[in-house]
Amino acid sequence: MSSASGDVPGQRDPASATPSASAKPPAGSHAPTGGASFDAWEQGAKPSGSDPIRLADFEALALAKMPPELGAYYSGAANDEVTLADNIAAFGRRRFLPRIGVGVEGRGTSVEVLGRRWPTPFMVAPMSLHRLADPEGEVAVARACAARNLVFSLSTVGSSTIEDVASTGAARWFQLYLLDDPGRNRELLARAEAAGYEAIILTMDAPILGRRERDIRTGFSLPSGVGYANIRRGAIKRGDTYGDDAFKPENTWDDLAWVVGATRLPVVVKGVLRADDAVHALDLGGAAVNVSNHGGRQLDQSIAAIDALPAVADAVAGRAPILLDSGIRRGTDVLIALALGARAVMLGRPVLWSLAWGGERGVGLAFDLLTAEVNLAFDLAGVRSPAEASRDLLVGG
């Protein structure tokens, strides 16, 4: 059931803080005025001349470092990977109609999700087995989140424990794949609650795994020392790379109702692509919906997540927050998602690539680059807050 899908207050909005005098942009760069400098170094992760300067740069650098079968596990998707490619291409089909005459002084990018305000409208999606990329795995990513007040989402099939991630102090959500044993599901929920997690993400789009042909070709298997840290020993048979035997063989609406009743935490319903499913998820007690096609790793030729978003947003009609993952690579992608109805986005594969490239520092750099791009996109589009991101900003949306 392993997945690399996705592919978090103060008087002043932290995302619009002016960088210190010691943080210098490279020579020849242009910084807009109004205290909203396009500066990837605002948060302290200053890249050197050889460092990546955009999220897409991390992938090739990471693949050059990783064993081929591990890189293929992260980068691959289902069947012919049509949906994987379309997730990114669908953002490229949109065009902006930017507003002019809008002052950027006081611009902020903070958003409220599930009762808390977060400094920028992106979070980390739940993904499996971070320790394939770096020995510290999820803990390193969570530390980078903690330093920036971003939400980190830990997967049931993560390679670090619920408690180890909690020790970082990051704001954290726990993603649940339902196990075949209800008692173990209750145990996972109880552990997450006891460890200070603030929400449960229930993944509904993976009753069985999609066909991951890159994994078949490379003969992917778990390397020694890396495993599913939150699943009891004995629940997964030796040689079962994906842990299929441990998981419930179907996901139904009754399961969602059970999870809502089994935890005191808000439940985010992940894997929604249809408007009617979004409404039903909320009717059954879901606190938010996550528009997602699992990063293209389940049903190939599914609609791109960003293409599914407008109809879901229309149907939800403000009843609950909408999150979106699958295909986010630029700050402009974040703004497009907000304009089409998302409250925030969940960042997937770029987190894994940046972790593989540079550990915690690499992840921090990726977050800072994306934060800077989001700030710039808001300023250039004439958007002073996420509430001002609306469909009239887009052509082809």
Contact 168, 146 (CB under 8 A): yes
Report which of 305, 353, 394 is spatially closest to residue 89, judged by C-alpha positions.
305
Report which of 4, 24, 45, 97 is spatially closest to residue 371, judged by C-alpha positions.
45
Burial call 82-102: b when 16+ CB within 10 Å, e when fewer: ebbebbbebbeebebeeeeee
Could you list the active site residues? 294
Contact 75, 349 (CB under 8 A): yes
Q: How many CA atoms lie within 13 Å of 390's alpha carbon, on the beta-carbon side? A: 5
Residues with Cβ within 8 Å of residue 339, at least 6 apart in sequence: 389, 390, 391, 393, 394, 397
CA distance 184 to 6: 25
End-to-end CA distance of the chain: 33
Give me 12's structure tokens.
């002043």
Q: How many CA atoms lie within 13 Å of 287's alpha carbon, on the beta-carbon side? A: 17
Which of helix, strand or coil describes residue 389? coil
Contact 252, 284 (CB under 8 A): no
DSSP letters spanning 242-283: T-GGGB-S---HHHHHHHHHH-SS-EEEEEE-SHHHHHHHHH
Rounded to 10°, the helix 82-92/331-339 angle is 80
